[in-house]
Amino acid sequence: MKSLRLGPYEVEPPVVLAPMAGITNIAFRKLCREHGAGLYVCEMVTTRALVERNPKTMRMLAFSEDERPRSLQLYGIDPEIVGQAVRMVVEEDLADHIDLNFGCPVPKVTRKGGGSALPWRHRLFERIVRRAVEAAEHVPVTVKMRKGIDDDHLTYRRAGEIAQDAGVAWVALHGRTAAQRYSGQADWEAIADLKAHLDIPVLGNGDIWEADDALRMVEQTGADGVVVGRGCLGRPWLFADLAAAFAGRTERVLPNLGEVAATMRRHAELLVEWLGDEPHGCADFRKHVAWYLKGFPVGSELRRRLAMISSLVELDDLLGKLDPATPYPVETLGQPRGRTNSPGKVALPDGWLADPDADGVPDGAELADSGG
């Protein structure tokens, strides 16, 4: 397949790590980069919080010295504030790539008219994207979105056209509606439809649990690349598999428990280094334990204790109790990881669906803080 370009950068292999709140911080991105290659996006940052220099938000903008391109995802609803945030990124050299979030299905976001709710108001969507591209100048802008609000309010085709006309570098489509959340199966046919409909690159997202899933998606949809989210939770080596797959090689990484333990230790160490505080770094690592150990025959008591660590010494002691020769549980391959939930009604501002031509910004729409 053709190489994927992002302004002056070549994304090789054509793999993007999706931003995930509380996950894709500098430590996790570095860990993933140690295993493979691609584009690694930081956690979503809200435009208002960035413009107001919220301390937590500014800390989230950390990148390694060797991390290029530095990829930042922005979320905003007010075109003027989005423009100010993008201008700030450019003038202060905060990132090399800006991705705009129109895919988040979380109620606190859609309730304000943001995330996956916003493309329904196509005029407002257009104002935001155009303002961002204009303010970005030489910095490439991309868009990530879902199919729509629900099956009766699909937006991806029109939003894709608007984004293309506004000058974005590519569009990434998660093959689910906001109402589906993370349930059911992703609709890869919608990705194929959008790819056939646009001239700019289209990336596919949804249900890429293994490297071979990425190859199937590209083959079935014609997508120019893939966006990987939950599939890499507790499996940063997935990026090595993806690199091998796109290079036409058949080898895949199946680490034994000793190798997984070493990766867990490295992850915790990177979190401690980034946060500058061992208890906080270890506390942040706890949520990853269940993902790393999924399918391994590790007793419930040891799992519980690992998920309560407060120091690296304690982590080393507990990891030392694992049997390093235990083979990887191949029965877990291809299984969903991370968030799974049921479909549900999307929280929206009053009257949001009544007039898709409306382009006003909802009162109190901009979030003052970033993260999950």
Catalytic residue IDs: 104
Q: ω before 13 within 30° of 0 (cis)?
A: yes
% helix, strand, coil for the chain, step of 5: 40, 10, 45
Alpha carbon distance 238, 228 (integer Å): 10
Tell me: is residue 249 an annotated ligand-binding position. no
Cα–Cα distance measured from residue 21 to residue 8, given in angstroms and rounded to the nearest whole number: 28
Q: Record the tokens describing residue 355, joined without a space.
A: 């007039």
Whether residue 229 is annotated as binding a ligand: the answer is yes
Report d(CA 224, CA 195) in Å as an integer.
8
84 is in an annotated binding site: no
Token output for 349:
């501002």
- 19 labelled as ligand-binding? yes
Q: Select from 27, 18, 36, 55 the least CA-distant residue to 285.
A: 27
User: What is the dihedral angle through the alpha carbons of 366, 341, 119, 80, rounded to the nearest 10 degrees?
Assistant: 20
Name every residue whose Cβ is closer than 8 Å to that of residue 191 and which is 6 or more positions away in sequence. Answer: 173, 175, 202, 204, 206, 217, 221, 223
In 3D, which of 193, 194, 222, 191 has the Cα closest to residue 206? 191
For residues 351 and 63, the answer to whether their CB atoms sit within 8 Å is no
Is the four-CA dihedral 228, 229, 231, 236 of positive or negative sign? Answer: positive
Token pair of 62 as six digits:
């950390």
Query: Which positions ≥6 away from 329 have C-beta within 8 Å?
Result: 294, 295, 296
- Is 21 annotated as ligand-binding? yes
Task: Match 């629900």 to its residue by tokens.
Answer: 150
Helix (H, G, I), strand (E, B) or coil at 198: coil
The residues facing 102 across adjacent strands are 145
Neighbours of 358 (CB within 10 A): 15
- Let me know: does 188 contact 219? Beta carbons within 8 Å: no
Please give the span between the terminal C-alpha atoms of the chain, in angstroms, as a whole number. Answer: 35
20 belongs to an annotated ligand binding site:
yes
Contact 110, 345 (CB under 8 A): no
Q: Which residues are annotated as a binding site?
A: 19-21, 73, 144, 174, 229-230
Q: Which residues are annotated as a binding site for FMN?
A: 19-21, 73, 144, 174, 229-230
